Each structure stands twice: as C-alpha cells, then as structure tokens.
Structure 1
Amino acid sequence: MLVKDVMKSPVLTIGPEATLEEAFNFLLEKGIRHLPVVEEGRLVGIITDRDIRLATSALNPKGPCPGCTPVREVMTRGVVTADPLDPVEEAARVMRERKIGCLPVLEEGLLLGIVTGIDLLDALLKLTGVTEPSGRLEVRLPDRPGELARLTGFLAGRGVNIHSLLSYPEGEEAVRAVVRVNTLETHPLAEALRREGEGFEVLWPPRKPW
C-alpha cells in the first residue's frame, strides 16, 4: 500500500497572510487539524490547531489582537513531506521519528495530498484485514527459511484462505506471524496447528480451559 492510496486529496490550504483567527475558524469549520500554507502554488509551511492555540496564549492579551497575527509568523517552515509512491510504512516511520502528525504529499513540487496519523491507522486496518469478517491466528515461528511457508501450506491444505499475513521479528531467533483467515472458527485450527508434526507455537487463540 502506497501513500497515494491513503492520502486525502484535494488538499485544503491557506495563504501565509491569513490571520490566525481565520486559520483557526477554517480548521474548525472543516473539522481538520493540519493546514498546509501555500504561496503562489508552492508549499511554504504548515500550521496546526495546536500551533495557533500556543501562539495566541503566548501573546499579550492586552496588546494588539492576538488572532490578527499572520499565519506566516507562526507556521512551521521546512516542512517534512512524502512522495505519493512512498510505502505507507515509510510514511509512518518518518512521522514517528519526527514526532509529527501529518505529511503533505508532493510530486515535482506540486501539493497533491496530505496524509495524517488517522489515514495511517486506516491503512493498518486494511493491511491487517480486520475490516472484513475474519478470524485471527497468531503463531510464533523459528526464524529460519521455510517456516512461514510451512504455516501457509498447513492452512492451504485445510482449505483455509488467508486474508492478510503480517510478520515481525521477535528477538534473534523467532518471528511472530499474525494471520487473518476466512473463518471465525479459529479454535479448531489452532488445536490442529499445535498437533501438526513438531507442532506450531500458537499464541492466539489460547487453549480452551476444557
């Protein structure tokens, strides 16, 4: 799944000369939190509802109108961006490392879209198959060639279709595989997996107490 598959487009933007009050009201009206700042077709910054609250609270309430401050004085410059062909996991990594809530999406300098943390959560739900009726299996496998194939072969041999499969390393010697399958009857499958050959270490569903 790529950024272009989950980004919001077209993008709502604002100009750098707009006031903080105008920007805040626009964010409230549209129900969004991040607003790219565009000047003459170029992305020059980004401003969030949090930026506006912090900026207005820091200004002297007895001084000039806090909400009349131009966006350009508060916006974040040097915006971190994504490419529409970036994998969603790369976008998630960048957002996590930079501790930011969104990535404007640029192609050849043009603003095509924006991807937020909520968009990435939606992508995760799709990738895991949880949005479709399915059952869940979680299995710990030795980290060696052929183990994942052994698991998928076992399921295929029982006519079970895999909706999604995610795996990740656990320490240096094991891999966890989280599998979504086209049946809700996962307890019989789990017991069969535990009995098969040397047995699979099934973490979910747990053994029934009876």
Structure 2
Amino acid sequence: MLVQDVMRFPVITVGPGVTLEEAYRLLLEKGIRHLPVMEEGRLVGIITDRDIRLATSHLNPKGPCPGCAQVGEVMTREVVTAHPLDPVEEAARVMRERKIGCLPVLEDGALVGIVTGIDLLDALLKLTGVTEPSGRLEVRLPDRVGELFRLTGFLAKRGVNIHSLLSYPEDGDVVRAVVRVNTLETHLLAEGLRQEGFEVLWPPKKPW
C-alpha cells in the first residue's frame, strides 16, 4: 500500500498572510488539524491547531488582538513531506521518528495530497484485514526458509483462504506471523496447527 492510496485530496490550504483567527476558524469548520501554507503555488510551511493555541496563549492579552497575528509568523517552515509512491510504512516511520502528525504529499513540487496519523491507522486496518469478516491466527515460526510456506500450505490444504498475512522478527531467531483467514473456526485450525508442530499463540488453547 502506497501513500497515494490513503492520502487525502484536494488539500485545504492557507496563505502566510491569513490571520491565526481565520486559520483556526477554518480548522474547526473543516474538522481538520493541519493546514499546509502555500505561496505562489509553493509549499512554504505548515500550521496546526496546536501551533495556533500556543502562539495565541503566549501573546500579550493586553496588546493587539492575539488572533490577528499572521500564519507566516508562527508556521513551521521546514516541512517534512512524502511522495505519492512512498510505502505507507515508510510514511509511518518518518512521522513516528519526527513526532509529527501529518505529511504533505508533493509530486514534482506540487502539493497533491496530505496524509495524517488517522490515515495511516486506516491503512493498518486494511493491511491486517480487520475491515472484513475474518478469523485471526497468530503463530511463532523459526526464522528460516520455508516456514511461512509450510504455514500457508497447511491452510491451503484445508481450503482456507488468507485475507492478510503480516510477519515480524522477534528476538531469538523467530518470526511472529499474524494471519487473517476466511473462517471464524480458528480454534479448530489452531488445534490442527499444534498437532503439526506449530507454536500457536492465538487463539489460545482451550482448557478442555
């Protein structure tokens, strides 16, 4: 899954000369938290609802109207961006490392979309198959060639279709595989897997 599959477009933007009050009203009206700042067709910054709240709270309440300050005065100028063809997991990694809530998406310098943390959570739900009726298996496998094939072969022999399969390494030369399948009878599958020597973590073994 790529960024272009989950990004939002068209993107709501503001110019650097817009007041903080106007920008905040736009955020509330549209139900969003981030506004890319555009000037002459170029992305020059980004401002968030948090930026606006912090900026207005630090201004002198007895001075000029705090909300009358301009977006260009408080926006973040060094904007971290993504490309439409970036994998969603790379976008998630960047957002996690930079501790940011969104990535404007640029293609040939043009703003073509924006991806947020919520969009990446939606992507995760799709990747794991939980948006469709399915059963869940979680199996710990030795980290060696052929183990995933052995697992999928077991399911294929029983006529079970795989909706999604995610795996990740653990310490100790093992891999954990999370499989979504087209049946809710996962306890029966789990028992069959255990009889074949697989270490099944989910569903747990029934006490009887």
User: Considering the TM-score relative to the shorter chain, is it more than 0.5?
Assistant: yes
Other-structure match for 2:203: 205
Distance 1:186 1:156 in 2: 14
* TM-score between both structures, scaled by the size of structure 2: 0.99
The DSSP-based 3-state class of the residue aligned with 1:152 is helix
The DSSP-based 3-state class of the residue aligned with 1:194 is helix
The DSSP-based 3-state class of the residue aligned with 1:137 is strand
Kindly indicate whether residue 167 of structure 2 is the aligned counterpart of residue 162 of structure 1. no
Distance 1:151 1:109 in 2: 45
Distance 1:106 1:38 in 2: 12
- Amino acid of the residue matched to residue 175 of structure 1? V
Distance 1:172 1:141 in 2: 11
Number of equivalent positions:
208
Q: CA deviation at 1:73?
A: 0.4
Q: CA deviation at 1:99?
A: 0.3
Q: CA deviation at 1:119?
A: 0.2
Distance 1:190 1:11 in 2: 46
The DSSP-based 3-state class of the residue aligned with 1:175 is strand
Pairing of 1:1-210 with structure 2 (within 5 A) = 1-196=1-196, 199-210=197-208
Q: CA deviation at 1:78?
A: 1.2
- Amino acid of the residue matched to residue 104 of structure 1? P
- Amino acid of the residue matched to residue 90 of structure 2? E
RMSD value, Cα = 0.4
* TM-score between both structures, scaled by the size of structure 1: 0.98
Q: CA deviation at 1:20?
A: 0.2
The DSSP-based 3-state class of the residue aligned with 1:91 is helix
- Amino acid of the residue matched to residue 135 of structure 1? G
Deviations 1:96-154 (A, max 9, x none): 00000000000000000000000000000000000000000000000111001000000
Distance 2:172 2:23 in 1: 50
Q: Give 4+ residue runs of structure 1 displaced > 3 Å after superposition.
A: none
Q: CA deviation at 1:209?
A: 1.4
Distance 2:2 2:189 in 1: 33
Q: CA deviation at 1:172?
A: 3.7
Unaligned runs of 5+ in 1: none
The DSSP-based 3-state class of the residue aligned with 1:27 is helix
- Amino acid of the residue matched to residue 195 of structure 2? R
The DSSP-based 3-state class of the residue aligned with 1:188 is helix
- Amino acid of the residue matched to residue 203 of structure 2? P
- Amino acid of the residue matched to residue 125 of structure 2? L
Deviations 1:31-64 (A, max 9, x none): 0000000001100000000000000001110011
Unaligned runs of 5+ in 2: none
The DSSP-based 3-state class of the residue aligned with 2:80 is coil
